[in-house]
Amino acid sequence: MKRILLLMFLCCCTAAITFATNGSALPDTLTIEPSTAPVAIDLRAYTGTLEDATGNLSIDAVTQLPFYTNNQLFHAAPRNNSKPNNCWIKLNIKNPGNTNASWLLFTGWHDFMYWYEQAPGKVPNLLMQTGLMLDRGGVERWNNYGLITDIPPHDTRTFYLHIINKSFNENPFEPTLYNSAAFVKFQSAQVEGYRRESVVILVLLGMLLVILGISLINYIQLPDRSYLYFAIYVLGLILFFALRLESKPYQLSFFHRWPMLKYYWDIPGLLFCFYLMYLLFGNAFLNLKERYPFMERIFTWVAAVVGGLIIICIYLIAMEQYHLPTIIYGYVYFGTLVPLLAIFIALARRSQHHPLVKFFLFGSVCLYLACLGSFLIHVRPLGLVGALGELSAPTILLIGGILLQAFFVLAGLSYRNKLVHLERTRTQEMLIKQLNKNKELQRKLNEQLEELVKEQTTEILRKKQELEEQRKIQLETEYVKKLTEIELKAIRAQINPHFIFNCLNSIQLFVMQRDFEFAQKYLSDFSYLIRKTLDFSRRNFISLADEITYLNTYLGLEKMRFENRMEYEVVVDPEIATAELEIPAMLLQPYVENAVKHGMTNPKQALGKLSIRFTQIEPDMLECIVEDNGIGITRARALRSLPKHHQSSGMEISQNRADLLNKMYNTEIQIEIIDKALEAECNAGTVIRILIPQL
């Protein structure tokens, strides 16, 4: 039993070693006799392969590296590579015949292809280069995919083919050698196979151009964003399908001078058309902002995200990472299947209240099912991963879904035009009815106005007479007011020289006494007092704080003149806001001046005393009391009759100012003069009580 097991183990090891040796063995040289060779030869058994993982190998380095047989590299159908495929294949061909052997090698439609020939003992020579992403040979460039192999009689040639595929799915890759007649027949079969698809795409482009024209005409007639978004969406589809002709062999190409454009508008075109513009169109078409604000926010945010993904995909394509945008679109496609279904259900529930929802919903469902069916069709032959690379393939099912969706949208736009037209017609009818009502109402109003004009004419005449009388009264009032202002200015002009005269007498006394220090200080304070006097004389009202400062300055000067024979005090109620409360300018100064003059000349009093008190007796009434211990008002009048040049007019002027202010501003300034000697013979002095109301 042990011997049997040992024998089986040795057999397995031998088979494994043999298989490993065959898998890595160098391919044989293909010997071709031109006269007896078949029309087509499968080269997989004669082709050596080498994978360039770094992508930096040159032809000189490749010739020094070993090649191995790897049949897994070849495939008859599109296959997902999950990453860019960079490989080299090597082929040795020997011609034992007496004539030249000319063959054409076809390996498939690849992105980049570089074809080298090496004669024995010589360096490789680049014969040709082509590819879907490289060739700019014009609309007939598909003929360049037949790689020429010329072998002289009794000679051997080594050929190297460098293939680079950067797309997500790699096209069929099967190296086959054809003679000239067989390759022409193979080309004809390829042309016939792709011609049907070309016709379908061209018909679709024609229909999309018609739809684009209708959308633009409707937009010109009725400028609405939904028409504009749909026109841009259709224009994107036209560009997308026109570029599909560029990626399929032997078809009419509109952009053959820009072969890379089909890659820049492959996945970004799908995102732009089926997501970005369709979301913007649905938002404007259904007026989601007013009807369904929450859905409108979802559409706006998703459109912004898709716009960012489009920029990312274009950047990745520019960096030659062509397979990554397909992966991104795969995530977007599968990630939106369920949310889109939920949105369709939500819209279906609201279709009864909004008739346009039905058209948008039917068109969206047709496109949704067509895209899903097109993907499922590719899953079976290519697998789930490989089918991702064919999401953009223009299958008949996808084309049908796009056309149905476009027709439903056009029907919805037409229905919307009808609604707008009906609304305009209804509005015009309402305007006509309203216009007729307005005409009837205007007729009635004209009749009423005629009667009203008659009544108003009489009233106007009466009012005119009353206005004339009022104007006369107003003119008289203004005349009296101006006259009062003139009189007030004349009184203020009398106050200033009278006060200045009294002050100059005091200055003269200091000068005569040669007390220059006091004279200088007196002159300084007197100059300040003159400035304030001139300022206050031009104003009708000043603040109580300014008045108190002015009186303190004046009394300070008088105290200096009388030396130690005078005392004064200014008492203000703490509740009074002196900075805000206003009183007539220069109203108190004449009374204070008169109290100083007569209060300091009482022979019975060794010390003259003066008191000024401000009290708020009512919220709108200020009381000012000026009290002295002088000779009294009766004695002062008796003395005033002796020399005429001592006659004082300050108090009389102040009384006149108060009367004029009462006339101008309708105030009630009250001035009361009390001789304290009349109350009791032992008392001496005068009390002046002034009540000033607040305006």
Residue 623: pLDDT over 90: yes
**Does the pLDDT of residue 186 top 50, yes or no?**
yes
Interval 204-236: pLDDT, tens: 889 999 989 988 888 887 788 888 899 999 999
The pLDDT value recorded for residue 427 is: 84
Is there a contact between 90 and 50 (Cβ–Cβ < 8 Å)?
Answer: yes
The label of the residue with tokens 């379908």 reads 200
Break the chain into its structural domains and give their ranges: 24-189, 536-693
Write the CB contacts of 15 (distance below 8 Å, at least 6 apart in sequence): none
Please tell me if the domain spanning 24-189 has the same topology as the one spanning 536-693: no
Q: What would the pLDDT profile of 291-302 be if each residue is shown by its tens digit? A: 888 888 988 999
- In sequence order, the 6+-apart residues with CB closer than 8 A to the CB of 226 are 281, 284, 285, 413, 416
10 vs 273: CA distance, rounded Å: 63
CA 634/CA 544 separation, integer angstroms:
31
Distances (CA, A) of 111 to 133, 145, 242: 5, 11, 19
What's the per-residue H, E or C state across 421-473?
HHHHHHHHHHHHHHHHHHHHHHHHHHHHHHHHHHHHHHHHHHHHHHHHHHHHH
Query: What string of DSSP letters covers 181-193?
Result: HHHHHHHHHHHHH
- Residue 162: what pLDDT? 95
Q: Give the highest mean pLDDT range of 10-14, 278-282, 396-400.
A: 278-282
| Lookup result for tokens 């898998």 | 23
Domain 24-189 = CATH 2.60.40.2380: yes
Mean pLDDT: which of 128-137, 594-603, 622-631, 639-648 is highest? 622-631
Q: What is the mean pLDDT of residues 656-680?
A: 79
Q: How far is CA 490 from the centre of its chain?
A: 68
- In tens, the pLDDT along 407-445 reads 888 888 888 888 778 888 888 888 888 888 888 888 888
Question: What is the H or E stretch that residue 117 is in?
Answer: strand 112-118
pLDDT at 498 over 60: no
pLDDT in tens, 446-465: 888 888 888 888 888 888 88
3-state secondary structure of 578: coil
pLDDT for 314 equals: 92
> What is the model's pLDDT at position 135?
65
Q: Is 259 exposed, middle or buried (0-12, 13-18, 19+ CB in 10 A)?
A: buried
Is residue 385 pLDDT above 80, yes or no? no
- Stretch 1-17: mean pLDDT: 43
pLDDT at residue number 647: 43
Mean predicted confidence (pLDDT) in 6-23: 41
Residue 11 is predicted with a pLDDT of 44
What does the radius of gyration of the chain's CA atoms come to, in whole angstroms?
57
Write down the pLDDT at residue 642.
Answer: 45
Residue keyed to tokens 């590296």? 65
Q: What is the pLDDT of residue 9?
A: 46
pLDDT at 266: 84
Q: Which residue has the higher pLDDT, 561 or 279?
A: 279
Token representation of residue 660: 């004029």
Parallel, antiparallel or unpaired: strands 582-584 and 566-572 = unpaired
CA 352 – CA 277 distance, rounded (Å): 26
Percentage of the residues of the chain whose pLDDT score is greater than 70: 86
- The confidence score (pLDDT) of residue 27 equals 61
Total-model pTM? 0.56
User: For residue 19, is pLDDT > 50?
Assistant: no
Mean pLDDT of the chain: 81
CATH 3.30.565.10 is right for the domain spanning 536-693: yes
CA 356 to chain centre: 31
d(CA 200, CA 393): 13
CB 690 within 8 A of CB 591: yes
Most confident of 158-162, 193-197, 392-396: 158-162
DSSP character string of 314-371? HHHHHTT-THHHHHHHHHHHHHHHHHHHHHHHHHHHTTTT-HHHHHHHHHHHHHHHHH
pLDDT at 479: 61
Q: How confident is the model at residue 681 (pLDDT cuts 50, 70, 90)?
A: low
Q: For the segment 516-531, what is each residue's pLDDT rounded down to a tens digit?
A: 777 777 788 888 888 8
pLDDT at site 22: 38
Q: What is the dihedral of CA 486, 488, 492, 498, to 10 degrees?
A: 100
Query: Looking at residue 15, what is its pLDDT?
Result: 38
- What gap in Å lies between CA 283 and CA 294, rounded to an integer? 11
Question: Looking at residues 80-103, what average pLDDT do you find?
Answer: 87
326: number of Cβ within 10 Å: 22
User: How, if at all, do strands 85-95 and 30-31 pair?
Assistant: parallel
Q: Residue 680: is its pLDDT beyond 70? A: no
